[in-house]
Amino acid sequence: MPRTSREPADTVPYAPGRLPLLGHLIPMATNPLGFFQGLAEFGPVVRIGLGPRTGYVVNSIPLVRQLLLDPAGSFDKGGPVFDALIAEVGNGLAKCPAALHHRMRPLLQPAFRTNLMPRYAQVTARRTVDHIRAWKPGQILDVSEEMSRLTTAALADGLLTDPVSQRALEQMQSDLPVSLRGIAVRAAIPWASRIPLPANRRYDRAKRRTDRAIAEIVAARGTDDPHQDLVSLMLAPEASDLMDGALVRANVWEFITGGTDTTAALLAWTLHLLVTHPVRYAELQAEIDGTLGPRTPTYDGLAGLPCLRRTLTEALRLYPPVWLLSRTTKHTTELGGHLLPAGADVYFCIAALHRDPAAFPAPDTFDPDRWLPGRTTREQRDAFMPFSVGARKCIGDVFGLTEASIALNVILQHWRFAPAPGSNPSPRPSLSLHPRRLRLRIHPREGASATTEGDTCPLPSTPPPN
């Protein structure tokens, strides 16, 4: 709860290894995930040096829930990472302060109603079948890139339905990964953009093309828009007193990146975990084959695939796409027995919290069965927050899980995955947590076919070589 005292927060210990002027920027730049995961041993709240700034990292699950669910509103979106993101792409729903979020979220919520999920599932199934039909037997996939292309296509038909949006998203498929990497670097190291490197020039070109594509999406719409999708909600007359052009563009940026990058990361990590755990792979494959056979999955049918749900949940635990979040204190605020000053930058690492052994025994083990009804504990449920919790919980959580569930189902109905030479996946912390260097070889499953809207869509059915 807030206090009126202005006592400095000098009771919070510093993490070791702080350097003059640089603070902890070097370990954050070289191994950010390992750096944040190692902070828990130094206390529930730890100070870090971010160059000339000080940050406070919360390593305790109860304290993170306290700040996210704080009824007094002492913690708000903000801090250097959010400031950098806003400077690059604008002040959308996920980044804006609470006062703006409180007004904006109800305007956008109708796009994510539960009664729309069956249509989104049908769109995802159709797009997935179309996408994987182009794969070739024995082909080696760059899995992160392939899943990004797939989710971009699904988003175009789901949340942005007009022809201009779909053409723009197709053009953006190759530019989005470059733009996202560049934005992540600028969020972490703002001065990096001033270095004349080829990566910066590639980012500038990709960002300009993406900005133009988003401008085309918005310009093609009007208040009499017949498409009734996410953009039409932002341009509706009842939203006109809030949603100016800059805010509309910022939200389109946000939903395109959030609706493609995070789901692509989840799919990529799930395929990696299945390939490296063949018993779990066989269990999930048997459920899909036994429940659906060649039939296309539907939203209602997902309830009959509990192993699929547990598998995705455990992948989200081990590799949450949104791996690091931050807040800023609105006034001097107590947290964990420490007083944090007004304007303090407060961070919490979801990836580290998801591997807390107090909540998850054998935390580094891929064990979907830990989510069986009889095994799931209150500590697990409280610690699991891949979409955050409270008023700022991700607006698209159900949409994202539906998209991932349907896409993974269709993929596994048709193709079998195996490690490829040169595949050496490791986490690549950026705006989302993607696997780096994940290369998998694909072989068609014998007799594979898919049905969408009553049509059979056969895929190659030659068996994999011995």
How far is 78 from 69, CA to CA, in rounded Å? 16
* Token pair for 368: 């979907």
Is residue 8's pLDDT more than 60?
no
Instruction: Answer whether residue 460 shows pLDDT above 70.
Output: no
Query: CA torsion sign, 67 to 69 to 74 to 80?
Result: positive
Q: What is the largest CA-CA distance in the chain?
A: 72
Mean pLDDT of 234-249: 86
What integer pLDDT is reported at residue 331 of this predicted model? 93
What mean pLDDT value characterizes the chain? 87
Q: What is the structure's pLDDT at 455?
A: 42
Closest CA to 409 of 285, 259, 265: 285
Residues sharing a CB contact under 8 Å with residue 36, sequence separation 6 or more, in sequence order: 57, 324, 347, 349, 351, 352
| Dihedral angle sign, alpha carbons of residues 87, 105, 174, 170 | negative
pLDDT tens-digit map of 49-104? 988 889 999 999 999 999 999 999 999 997 777 777 787 788 889 889 999 999 99
pLDDT at 384 over 90: yes
Helices (H), 109-174: 117-132, 143-158, 163-172
Separation CA 169–CA 327 (nearest Å): 31
Please report the sign of the dihedral spanned by the C-alpha atoms of residue 369, residue 375, residue 376, residue 377.
Answer: negative
Contact 80, 343 (CB under 8 A): no
| pLDDT of 456 over the 70 cut | no
Q: How far apart are CA 27 and CA 213, in angstroms?
A: 36
Higher pLDDT, residue 443 or 237:
443
- Give pLDDT, residue 188: 64
Domains of the chain and any CATH numbers: 70-322+386-458 (1.10.630.10)
Which residues neighbour 52 within 8 Å (Cβ) at sequence distance 6 or greater?
A: 21, 23
Scan for tokens 């349907």, then name that residue. Answer: 406
- d(CA 432, CA 266) in angstroms, rounded, equals 10
Q: Which of 2, 5, 88, 12 is nearest to 49 (CA)?
A: 12
Q: What does the block give as tokens for 81?
A: 């990472």
pLDDT in tens, 180-209: 777 777 766 666 677 778 888 888 888 888
Residue in this structure with the two tokens 């109860």, named with its chain if needed? 62
Q: Map residue 428 onto helix, strand or coil.
A: strand
Residues pairing with 385 in the sheet: none
> In percent, how much of the chain has pLDDT > 90?
58
To which H or E segment does residue 78 belong?
none
Q: pTM for the full model?
A: 0.89
Which DSSP string corresponds to 339-371? EEPTT-EEEEEHHHHTT-TTTSSSTTS--GGGG
Identify the bridge partners of residue 230 per DSSP, sorted by sequence position: none
Sign (positive/negative) of CA torsion 405, 409, 411, 412? positive
In degrees, to the nearest 5, what angle opens at C-alpha 86 toward C-alphas 183 and 102? Answer: 135
